[in-house]
Structures are given as structure tokens and as C-alpha cells.
């Protein structure tokens, strides 16, 4: 396989020039990007073939001057440039010298589509917008009630003060949960999620979550435990398991229209797992969308939320060796089944 065939096999476009600044290789992909014939480009000046420009009208060769750089320069970092048709590409180059004191004998340029970076930029913008939106509401509540307490302290009775302080505490908890979610998302994405699993009583953990959510909503939540306590011991980081259950129950309350049912029991088909089921009476999740539910910032309906809850549910459950399945509830709505291992992995 010669150099041209190797370059054509790469996922990025490649252009190589020799010591005289004349092009000696243009890969097929680079030719398509630049709108040039790879074979007809051989022997032409690098600046004539590498028809890239920036927003100031400079060409890549004019801006970077690869043959006139300091001898300590070995290349250029990733830069965004525009193709003749206006499409953005990301460009990286390597500048080679036979020895530190010698002149440049080869310049290699790599061109990559900028669509991936644009997608990443969109995701970052989504993250900023989501965080700003989710933080604004509780912060507004905290600021408003604190200001009211400061301005009207002597005119408020004890019951009014307690109500305002409870609201401030609730909004502060909401902020803390959102920050914890964002940190967990980052850890799941980077593979740095830390778990401290141990034998835990699923009955106790699920009951605590249900009672906590009940106290914060008027929507009825039914809890069904179908096995004895000794039969529902799981291997889990209790905090992470609690976070999974909380996200599922709060999501069901947010998107459902009636009773939310939470059931816990042994998995009928697998004695080594405990089955947690959360059902709502909402509009459900169409089958074609169920795989997208566990992606970041996925939202369905118009009832708010950060779009991170189910992504975290999927990530934490998978990290423990469990599974999550979405189905239809018998009475309409969504049914989410979580299988959680009872024992440590072998």
C-alpha cells in the first residue's frame, strides 16, 4: 500500500508539501473538501491547493507561514478554517525538520469536518440553557422570600416566617439536587463515577423515598412490597440507589395524571435480582422514543424537568450491573422496570 492509499484510508483529509512548498500528496477526501483534483494538484504551491480562508480573508498559508516559523515550532494547533464553499473545517498541521537547526523539509496538514464541533457546541449551549433555566426558579424563590423576611420581619408572625423558611429550605434542596445531578452526569460521561456498594435493604430505601416525595406533592403514591425484608437485600451504593428511585418517582409524579404506583419485589425470572417498578397514569412514552429517554436533555411533554433524571437513572443502574426497561402501564401511562442485583458481581 503506497502513501496515497494510506492517506485515502484515513478518516481525515490529508495534504502534504515538500521542502520547496510544493504539494506531494492530496488524499481523496482532502480533494473533495478543497474542490481540487488530487493528481492535478501534485507539484503545485501549497497555498494554491490549500484553499482555506479565515473570517479576515487570510489564507491558511499566509496566516501560519509554516516555512518561516521559529525552529522550535513543530506544528499548529487545531484551528477552524473555511472551505471555498463556506463550510467550516478543523485544521491541524505538523512541521518537520531533519534536525533542530535544519530548514523545514515537510509540512503535513489534516482537515476534519467541523460538524462534530458544532454538535458539541450545541450540546454545551443546551447544558448552559438547561442549567440556567433550572437554577433560576429556585434561586428566585430563595431571593424573594429572604428579601421579604428582611424587609418585613417585624410584621410577620411566627407561622408566616416558618412557611417562608420552609420554602427557602425546599428550594435550597432543589438546587443541591440539581448540582449533584450535573456532577453525576460529568462523572458518568468521563467514567469517573465513584461507587461505594454494600449490602442494603431495598425496602427501607424505597420506603424513605416514597414518604419523602409524598410529603412534597398532593398526588397519591401507592407503595407495594411483595416480599419480606430479608428477600429484598441488594448490593448497591445506598445513596446512588436512592437517587435512582427518587428520580423515577419524581418523574412519574411530574408526568402522570393520577395515582403513581411503586412496587418492589423479587424478580420472577431471576432470583439474583430485585425488581423495582414505577408506573404513572400519564400519556406514556411511545415505543419509538424509548431508547432516547436515557440520553441527556431528553424531554417529553411540557412539564419541565432538567432532562437529566433518566440519563442518570440509566447510568447509575448500569454502573451497578442492573437494567432499565420501559413499557406501557396496564392503566395507561409509562411503566419503568429496574432490575437491581442482589449480590456483588463475581
Supply the pLDDT for residue 95.
Answer: 94
334 and 202 co-located in one domain: yes
Supply the pLDDT for residue 116.
Answer: 63
Mean pLDDT of the chain: 86
In this prediction, residue 230 has a pLDDT band, given cuts at 50, 70 and 90, of low
Q: Is the pLDDT of residue 96 over 90?
A: yes
In this prediction, residue 330 has a pLDDT band, given cuts at 50, 70 and 90, of confident
Cell of 286: 411511545
Q: For the ranges 138-142, 263-267, 314-318, which has the lowest average pLDDT?
A: 138-142
The answer to whether the CB of 264 falls within 8 A of the CB of 224 is yes
Q: Is the pLDDT of residue 232 over 90?
A: no
Domain boundary among the residues 113, 144, 172 is at: 113
pLDDT tens figures, 155-179: 989 999 999 998 888 888 878 877 8
CA distance 199 to 166: 34
- Helix, strand and coil content of the chain, in percent to the nearest 5, comes to 45, 25, 35
Highest-confidence range of 19-33, 132-146, 288-302, by mean pLDDT?
19-33
The CATH number assigned to the domain holding 249 equals 3.30.565.10
CA 245 → CA 28, 60, 185, 312, 336, distances in Å?
52, 54, 17, 11, 11
Q: Does a structural domain hold residue 44?
A: yes
123 and 222 co-located in one domain: no
208 and 184 co-located in one domain: no
Instruction: Concatenate the DSSP letters of all residues of 132-149 into one string.
Output: HHHHHHHHHHHHHHHHHH
Q: Does a structural domain hold residue 19?
A: yes
50 and 139 co-located in one domain: no
Q: Does a structural domain hold residue 346?
A: no
pLDDT tens figures, 256-280: 777 899 999 988 888 889 999 999 8
Supply the pLDDT for residue 301.
Answer: 55
Going by their DSSP bridges, the two strands 13-18 and 233-236 should be labelled as unpaired
223 and 326 co-located in one domain: yes
Q: pTM of the full predicted structure?
A: 0.60
| Average confidence (pLDDT) over 288-298 | 73
Say how many Å lie between the first and final Cα of the chain, rounded: 46
27 and 144 co-located in one domain: no
Range of the domain at 55: 3-113
231 and 303 co-located in one domain: yes
Q: Does a structural domain hold residue 265?
A: yes
Higher-pLDDT residue of 154, 116: 154
| Average confidence (pLDDT) over 129-152 | 83
Supply the pLDDT for residue 261.
Answer: 92
Q: Does a structural domain hold residue 136?
A: yes
- Burial per residue of 1-37, b for 16 or more beta-carbon CB atoms within 10 angstroms, e otherwise: eeebeebbeeebbbbbbebeeebbbbbebbbebbebe
Q: Where are the beta strands (DSSP E) in 146-237?
A: 198-201, 221-225, 233-236
Q: Is the pLDDT of residue 238 over 90?
A: yes
Q: Is the pLDDT of residue 288 over 60?
A: yes
224 and 305 co-located in one domain: yes
Domain boundary among the residues 95, 113, 131 is at: 113
CA distance 255 to 305: 10
Supply the pLDDT for residue 228.
Answer: 59
C-beta atoms surrounding 228 within 10 Å: 9
76 and 127 co-located in one domain: no
Domain boundary among the residues 113, 138, 154 is at: 113
174 and 41 co-located in one domain: no
The total of structural domains in the chain comes to 3
81 and 10 co-located in one domain: yes
Higher-pLDDT residue of 139, 209: 209
| Average confidence (pLDDT) over 312-330 | 89
pLDDT tens figures, 2-60: 888 898 899 899 999 999 999 999 999 999 999 999 999 999 999 999 999 887 788 99
The answer to whether the CB of 318 falls within 8 A of the CB of 345 is no
Supply the pLDDT for residue 43.
Answer: 95
Supply the pLDDT for residue 205.
Answer: 94
The answer to whether the CB of 88 falls within 8 A of the CB of 80 is yes
Q: Is the pLDDT of residue 229 over 60?
A: no
213 and 294 co-located in one domain: yes
The CATH number assigned to the domain holding 140 equals 1.10.287.130
Amino acid at each position: 500500500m503506497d502513501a496515497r492509499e494510506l492517506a485515502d484510508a484515513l478518516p481525515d483529509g490529508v495534504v502534504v508539501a515538500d521542502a520547496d512548498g510544493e504539494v506531494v500528496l492530496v488524499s481523496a477526501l482532502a480533494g473533495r473538501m478543497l474542490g481540487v483534483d488530487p493528481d492535478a494538484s501534485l507539484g503545485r504551491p501549497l497555498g494554491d491547493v490549500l484553499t482555506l480562508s479565515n473570517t479576515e480573508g487570510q489564507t491558511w498559508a499566509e496566516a501560519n507561514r509554516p516555512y518561516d516559523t521559529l525552529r522550535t515550532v513543530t506544528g499548529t494547533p487545531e484551528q477552524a478554517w473555511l472551505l471555498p464553499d463556506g463550510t467550516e473545517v478543523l485544521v491541524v498541521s505538523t512541521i518537520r525538520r531533519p534536525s533542530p537547526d535544519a530548514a523545514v523539509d515537510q509540512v503535513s496538514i489534516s482537515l476534519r469536518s467541523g460538524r462534530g464541533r458544532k454538535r458539541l457546541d450545541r450540546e454545551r449551549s443546551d447544558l448552559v440553557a438547561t442549567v440556567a433555566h433550572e437554577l433560576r426558579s429556585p434561586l428566585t424563590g430563595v431571593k424573594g422570600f429572604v428579601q421579604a423576611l428582611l424587609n418585613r420581619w417585624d410584621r410577620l408572625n411566627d407561622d408566616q416566617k416558618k412557611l417562608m423558611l420552609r420554602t427557602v429550605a425546599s428550594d435550597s434542596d432543589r438546587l443541591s439536587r440539581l448540582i449533584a445531578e450535573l456532577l453525576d452526569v460529568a462523572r458518568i460521561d468521563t467514567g469517573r463515577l465513584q461507587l461505594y456498594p454494600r449490602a442494603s435493604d431495598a425496602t427501607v430505601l424505597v420506603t424513605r423515598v416514597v414518604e419523602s416525595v409524598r410529603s412534597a406533592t398532593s398526588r397519591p403514591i401507592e407503595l407495594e412490597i411483595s416480599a419480606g425484608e430479608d428477600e429484598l437485600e441488594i448490593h448497591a451504593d445506598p445513596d446512588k440507589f436512592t437517587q435512582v428511585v427518587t428520580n423515577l418517582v419524581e418523574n412519574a409524579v411530574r408526568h402522570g395524571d393520577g395515582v403513581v404506583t411503586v412496587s418492589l419485589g423479587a424478580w420472577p425470572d431471576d432470583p439474583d435480582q430485585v425488581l423495582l417498578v414505577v408506573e404513572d397514569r400519564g400519556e406514556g412514552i411511545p415505543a419509538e422514543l424509548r431508547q432516547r429517554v436515557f440520553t441527556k436533555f431528553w424531554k417529553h411533554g411540557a412539564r419541565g424537568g432538567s432532562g437529566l433524571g433518566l440519563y442518570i437513572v440509566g447510568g447509575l443502574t448500569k454502573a451497578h450491573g442492573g437494567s432499565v426497561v420501559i413499557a406501557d402501564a396496564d392503566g395507561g401511562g409509562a411503566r419503568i422496570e429496574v432490575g437491581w442485583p442482589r449480590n456483588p458481581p463475581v
